[in-house]
Amino acid sequence: MAVSAGLLIFGTIIILLLLGIPIGITLMIASILAITQSLGFSSAVPSSALKLFQGINIFTLLAIPFFILAGNIMNKGGIAIRLIHFATALTGRIPGSLAHTNVVANMLFGSVSGSGTAAVSAMGSIMGPIQKKEGYNENFSAALNIATAPTGFLIPPSTALITYALASGGTSVAALFIGGLIPGILWGLSCMVVAFYFAKKHGYVEKRIISFREFLKVLREAIPSLLLILIVIGGIVGGIFTATEAAGIAVVYSLLLSLLVYKTLKVNDLYSILVESAKLSAIIMFLIGSSNILAWVMSFTGIPSMLAEGILGISTNSIMILLAINMMLLFVGTFMDLTPAILIFTPILLPVCLELGMTPLHFGIMLTLNLCIGTITPPIGNILFAGIKVANVKIEEVMPHLFKFYIAIFIVLMLITYFPWFSTFLPDLFGY
């Protein structure tokens, strides 16, 4: 039963995706077709409908629309430019300072907004023209911006890690948030190394040194934005509030910051922000509900156990098995969005990795980092194409520069995979 159901599910998914059917509907159709073999159509449909609503009737999931709303408020509330000024102050003494500013700004804005697409759009529209004016190769600038935008999916707060916590059956969101910090920073630092050598090679050695008084002014303007990270993470780690409550606090804080402190957001802007946030939240929630149907069908038909046995049968060497899993996930990420990929492959691969001695926390960070790479690779990568659109460049001219960053990020992935310390040190330190 597991073999026939598995072939039917993945065959249907591939065919419907090639036909351009939305992923949420694709998952639902594939799941119903597979379970119909066992339960019959009259029982499969109402059972699937029940699983759909059960999948989204979870309190923790309220954090996702709240963080999306907070991110959209920040994106239009003048927070990005202040974080760029702060990043410039931090990296101004390094050769190729504009490139490093782009990286640090993406890490900061990506973390407070929780959106790689928002980061690549905001930073590309602001940093791109400045770098071009200073003589930077615009294709390199676009590649750098694209390569570092996904760091916000790892540096907390992160909706991707919340999604994994749900899919894994209750891994601590607080532990995942803290555990993603070092990998996210390593991703950014690895790209800064590439940017440093590129800047040296091509003579981008400008330095933007500011006085201590100017630094204090920039810091003062950026502190209210940076405080959001401390409030959210500090509150969760300290047990003051849950991840869901932290998301609500993030909305209120970002709204007050944009309206009353920076005064860059108008009340009239709120309608469009709310509509945009509602649309994106609805898409993600439908994906989660559809994926819950798929998870139930796979569990019912025994697909995860079958795949786990198959993967473990490849080799007795855990190093080779983990490498094979990473290669598979890198391939999956090239044609599937981050959220559905996490929801589909967590129940399949988590049991395998537990057999290899990994913890759910370590696996979650590895999985998320791996699939984040898919957001910047063709043919589907949404961050890749958003970055190209903002920079107004051609993909074939950007890709040669992106390959350099792919190598650096892959090295980070291998470090995270084979050295659990990078993911577990901070959670262990804080008692998680």
To the nearest whole percent, how much of the chain has pLDDT over 70? Answer: 95
* Span 348-377, pLDDT tens digits: 899 888 888 899 999 999 999 999 998 898
Question: Residue 157: is the preceding peptide bond cis (ω within 30°)?
Answer: yes
Helix extents (H) in 57-180: 63-75, 79-91, 97-113, 116-133, 138-148, 159-167, 173-179
Q: What is the pLDDT of residues 240-259, one digit of tens each?
A: 887 788 888 888 988 888 88
Neighbours of 231 (CB within 10 A): 16
- State the pTM of this model: 0.81
Q: How confident is the model at residue 208 (pLDDT cuts 50, 70, 90)?
A: low
Whether residue 222 has pLDDT greater than 70: yes
Return the pLDDT at 68: 79
Mean pLDDT of 54-60: 77
Residue 241's H or E segment, with its range, is none
Residue in the block written with tokens 């940093």: 127
Look at residue 382 and tell me whether its pLDDT is greater than 70: yes
Residue 149 one-letter amino acid? A
Q: What does the pLDDT read at residue 1?
A: 63
CA distance linking residue 98 with residue 104, whole number of Å: 10
Q: Tell the residue number behind the tokens 């959106």, with chain if given.
A: 115
Question: Which pLDDT does position 258 carry in this prediction?
Answer: 86
Q: How far apart, in whole angstroms, are the C-alpha atoms of residue 112 and residue 224?
A: 11
* CA proximity to 349, closest of 377, 313, 312, 314: 312
Residue 50 has pLDDT above 80, yes or no: yes
283: amino acid identity, one letter = I
User: What gap in Å lies between CA 234 and CA 430, rounded to an integer?
Assistant: 11
Structure tokens at 35: 């379970």
Tokens 């995860």 identify what position?
A: 304
* pLDDT > 90 in the chain, percent: 19
Cα four-point dihedral sign 196, 401, 127, 219: negative
Q: Which of 37-46, 103-112, 279-288, 297-306 has the lowest mean pLDDT?
A: 297-306
Question: Residue 289's closest CA among 34, 4, 23?
Answer: 23
HSE of 18, CA atoms in CB hemisphere, 13 A:
6
Provide φ and ψ at 128, rounded to 5°.
-55, -55
Distance CA 129, CA 195 (A): 18
Tens of pLDDT, residue by residue over 410-428, are 999 999 999 999 999 999 9
pLDDT for residue 210 is more than 70: no
Residue 144: pLDDT over 80: yes
Among 361, 364, 368, residue whose Cα is nearest residue 428 = 361
